[in-house]
Structure 1
Amino acid sequence: MEIKNANSFKIGPSKFDIIPATLSHCESLMEFGKDLPSFYSNIEFLKKDLSDPLKCFFIAIYKDLVVGFISFFKLYDEIHLAYIYVKKDFRNMGLGTRLFKFAYEKFFLKGKEIWLEVETSNTTACLFYTKLGFRIVYRRKNYYGENKDAWIMKREA
């Protein structure tokens, strides 16, 4: 099911169901790879990560359509926000914030520092992460390729 111009009417963030992603959601998650070049290119890697207890994936569903997701992983004593993504037609409705808060409550995030990296040119994402309580720690040169730097951001425990 595809919904066009969801922003033409107001959908409150409570209208979306957020649930843990399972293997049955792999095909829907792989669709996000069209908009996220760094996302999984191999469904088998995604399936492996969905089964990993040190990783979490939650999806946002609206009328049986997966419209967003969030993914974290634990690396030693660090928590990393790997992805947070909402389909274009469902942005600016509070869904990204709701995904983050939901994952924060359900995954082992309470009392932990959370790290992420974001391309320095992605000002929209930087502003969003700042609203979630992240701050820029340092710049990593050429992280995304030649002349494509990353901000390393951290949210305190």
Structure 2
Amino acid sequence: MDIKNTDSFKVDFSKVDIIPATLSHCESLMEFGRELPSFYSNIEFLKKDLFDPLKCFFVAIYEDLVVGFISFFKLYDEIHLAYIYVKRDFRNFGLGKRLFKFAYDKFYLKGKEIWLEVETTNTAACLFYTKLGFRIVYKRKNYYGENKDAWIMKREA
């Protein structure tokens, strides 16, 4: 189901709920994963990670449709933003920011540094992360493959 924000139909973003991801959301997450670098290649690994206490997945739901998600994981004393994704028709309306804030509050991220990596050519994502308070720390060469570098970004505690 595609939803377009047009003159004849507007998404009521107040009706988007953010909830912890469950097994019933795995197919939608895998569908989104086709657009994300390094996403799960096997749904069974994703299902296993939903129950890992060091990882969190939250989904944004609109009219029973998963329209976005966010995922963090803890690695020793570090927190990493693994993925944030919003369906194309739902972008640029603050949903990504809402997902981040919700996960930040629910995954006990207050007072902790958060790290992420993003492809250097993904300027829209870099700008989005900068607006969330992340800054570029350094460049990791060939992180996403030959001549596909990543910015390593950090959000201070």
TM-score, structure 1 as length reference? 0.94
Structure 2 counterpart SS, 1:3: coil
What is the Cα deviation at residue 40 of structure 1? Answer: 1.0
Structure 1 pair 23–54 and aligned structure 2 pair: CA distance change class (3 A): same
* Total equivalences in the alignment: 156
Structure 1 position 68 matched with structure 2 position 68:
yes
Structure 1 pair 56–7 and aligned structure 2 pair: CA distance change class (3 A): farther
**Runs of 4+ in structure 1 over 6 Å off:** none
Mark the runs of 5 or more structure 1 residues left unpaired by the alignment: none
- Letter of the structure 2 residue corresponding to residue 71 of structure 1: S
Name the counterpart of 2:3: 4
What is the Cα deviation at residue 39 of structure 1? Answer: 1.3
Asked if the contact 1:12–1:94 (Cα under 8 Å) also holds between the matched residues in 2, the reply is: no
CA distance in 2, matches of 1:13, 1:96: 12
Name the counterpart of 1:155: 155
CA distance in 1, matches of 2:81, 2:3: 29
Identity %: 85
CA distance in 2, matches of 1:120, 1:4: 30
CA distance in 2, matches of 1:41, 1:33: 8
What is the Cα deviation at residue 120 of structure 1? Answer: 0.3
Name the counterpart of 2:113: 113
Name the counterpart of 2:144: 144
Asked if the contact 1:11–1:93 (Cα under 8 Å) also holds between the matched residues in 2, the reply is: no
What is the Cα deviation at residue 12 of structure 1? Answer: 5.0
Structure 1 pair 112–13 and aligned structure 2 pair: CA distance change class (3 A): farther
- Letter of the structure 1 residue corresponding to residue 80 of structure 2: H
- Letter of the structure 2 residue corresponding to residue 60 of structure 1: A
CA distance in 1, matches of 2:107, 2:5: 29
CA distance in 1, matches of 2:117, 2:64: 31
Name the counterpart of 1:100: 100
What is the Cα deviation at residue 59 of structure 1? Answer: 0.1
Mark the runs of 5 or more structure 2 residues left unpaired by the alignment: none
What is the Cα deviation at residue 34 of structure 1? Answer: 2.4
